[in-house]
Amino acid sequence: MAQFEEVSQKSKLHPKPEGLTLQYGTAGFRTNAKHLDHIMFRMGLLATLRSKKTKSTIGVMVTASHNPEEDNGVKLIDPMGEMVTEVWEGYATQLANAEQDSLLKALKDVIEKEDISMSEPASVYVGKDTRPSSASLSQAVLDGVSSLGGKTHDYGLVTTPQLHYMVCCCNTNGCYGSPTVEGYYQKLSQAFLQLTQNAPNRTDDQKKLLVDGANGIGALKMREMEPFLRSELQVVLSNDGSSGKLNHLCGADYVKVQQKAPQGVCMATGERCCSFDGDADRIVYYYTDSKGRFHLLDGDKIATLISTYLKELLTQAGLNLQIAVVQTAYANGSSTRYLEDVMKVTVCCTKTGVKHLHHAAQEYDIGVYFEANGHGTVLFSKAAQKQILELVKDQNTNDERKRAVKILENTVNLINQTVGDAISDMLVIEAVLAIRGMSVQDWDAIYTDLPNRQLKVTVSDRRVINTTDAERKAVTPEGLQEAIDSLVKKYKNARSFVRPSGTEDVVRVYAEADTQESADNLAHEVSLAVYRLAGGVGDEPKPLH
Ligand code: NG1
Ligand code: ZN
């Protein structure tokens, strides 16, 4: 067929290095950019097939998020803005790893298995982050799509959540919003401005927020959005990409993992700051106190703030909707205890990876999900949104209920329900703090985090580690879980687990305990156990102190 002839010809321009195999991981393919050209072309092909299959527009985002600048990666976006399904992740891996001469066979396998009608039209939206490699890699995606006769819309530089938003807008025929960057700014800023009307007496100091753009796409887009916010938020932007390197000593991942302020941000005592990651789908907040101590407000604190606020609004509006918080094993133990014992909300724990959290959150009327690293959003079920809208229109409600439900309606509009979105989350947090008259210190004081530490161990094959119970227990290699259990017993309020990373070639170790020293020691001891029992390579892990 002529269609495949073109694929065959074009694929020669995007050859696969022989023997290279890559896995569709926690968030798509991710590795050094120089290994990715063929992957991008092939993901263009796959997105075209997915589009034909679903009779919808599919998104392809070229980014490696918080990874170093020399890496890159690709994420596929399904019709409603969700992550692609696991079956299609499998196809992605098969297509990515097919040697050059069996690419057509791999492609035809997918077509056959999914019974795809090749005469269907296809439409693919493509976006990219600011990495130097992103321009040519996104061109490879576009080549892949056009070689199978698909239509493309190249959005160029956008944040990952902006592309998710575009895909959802397109496939809902505009119900979710208008599929343009301007449409995104308008939808969010209108909701934000309405919300801030509930906090009319804010001072300029309260409106001021320091934003670390990680030298990435989020900084660019924040600049574009600023005029839409009409000074209701006064952003002081650092690491805006004009000089520094992407994610280098800055950004949400650096701040969360290092538990310290990014470089390049000039923060005064007590000032409210936040950091985006490299593709602006994560956010964390922080400040330093009068003793110079650094305070991090991570995804768990964000989930707590937002769920508390929503629960209060539901009560005021008299709406009986079930709210739940979805976390992963990385959630700080204090947050889980607070949510369950004090807030009395349902808490559910899933495996790491946004798709798992997103899926679990869909089970509730209102599902608030956040990874501790700051990736998260809120999902409102169709029924919940309907109830909110009906109550907004109801003439017979009293003023308190009317006010609460109007705030709920605007909050729904402000949240990017397709995926975690640093810009949208930031505006939600700013609105909640404004409406509740809270400072960042008040927010921080809701509960105190247990000291914790995250470490990485390099092993020869991280797949030797298999886990269960939402990754909280290791089933292989033999003896590892027993070793962890006995180490944990030595410390107070302690917890530790290990799992293979889905985005880096390492095993991640997490530990928490009553003091920082204990958490550090436990993390180190568990790292040693991993090194010894799971085939560690290189030097043995060294103690932190
Ligand atoms: P891995 O490398 O699988 O741990 C990391 C994050 C995830 C998720 C993905 C995608 C941690 C511990 N893990 O995954 O939560 O955000 O990257 O970006 O932060
Ligand atoms: Zn990201």
Which ligand 1 atom is nearest residue 253's CA? Answer: 19
| Residue-wise pLDDT tens digits, 514-533 | 999 999 999 999 999 999 99
d(CA 400, CA 435): 14
Q: Return the active site residues.
A: 65
pLDDT class of 1 with cuts at 50, 70, 90:
low
Position 503 scores a pLDDT of: 80
Q: What is the mean pLDDT of the segment spanning 464-486? A: 97
Q: Is 242 annotated as a binding residue?
A: no
| Residue-wise pLDDT tens digits, 99-133 | 999 999 999 999 999 999 999 999 999 999 999 99
- For residue 381, the SS3 value is coil
Cβ–ligand 1 distance for 160 under 6 Å, the answer: no
d(CA 67, CA 214): 11
Q: What is the mean pLDDT of the segment spanning 206-223? A: 98
Position 3 scores a pLDDT of: 72
Q: Name the residue of 352, 496, 499 whose CB sits within 8 Å of the most ligand 1 atoms, as the mutation to test its pocket.
A: 352
| Residue-wise pLDDT tens digits, 456-472 | 999 999 999 999 999 99
Q: Name the residue of 503, 507, 512 whose CB sits within 8 Å of the most ligand 1 atoms, as the mutation to test its pocket.
A: 503
Residue of minimum CA distance from atom 10 in ligand 1: 27
Q: Kindly tell me if the per-residue pLDDT of 2 is higher than 80.
A: no
Q: Is 501 annotated as a binding residue?
A: yes
Q: 184 alpha carbon to ligand 2 midpoint, in Å?
A: 19
* 118: CB partners within 8 A, 6+ apart: 1, 3, 52, 111
| Residue-wise pLDDT tens digits, 284-296 | 999 999 999 999 9
Residue of minimum CA distance from atom 5 in ligand 1: 503
pLDDT class of 545 with cuts at 50, 70, 90:
confident
Cβ–ligand 1 distance for 331 under 6 Å, the answer: no
Percent of the chain with pLDDT over 90: 94
Position 118 scores a pLDDT of: 96
Q: What is the mean pLDDT of the segment spanning 2-16? A: 92
Q: Is 508 annotated as a binding residue?
A: yes
Residue of minimum CA distance from atom 4 in ligand 1: 501
Q: 25 alpha carbon to ligand 1 midpoint, in Å?
A: 10
Cβ–ligand 1 distance for 467 under 6 Å, the answer: no
Q: What is the mean pLDDT of the segment spanning 421-441? A: 98
- For residue 123, the SS3 value is strand
Residue predicted with more confidence, 545 or 407? 407
> Residues 286, 426: contact at Cβ < 8 Å?
no
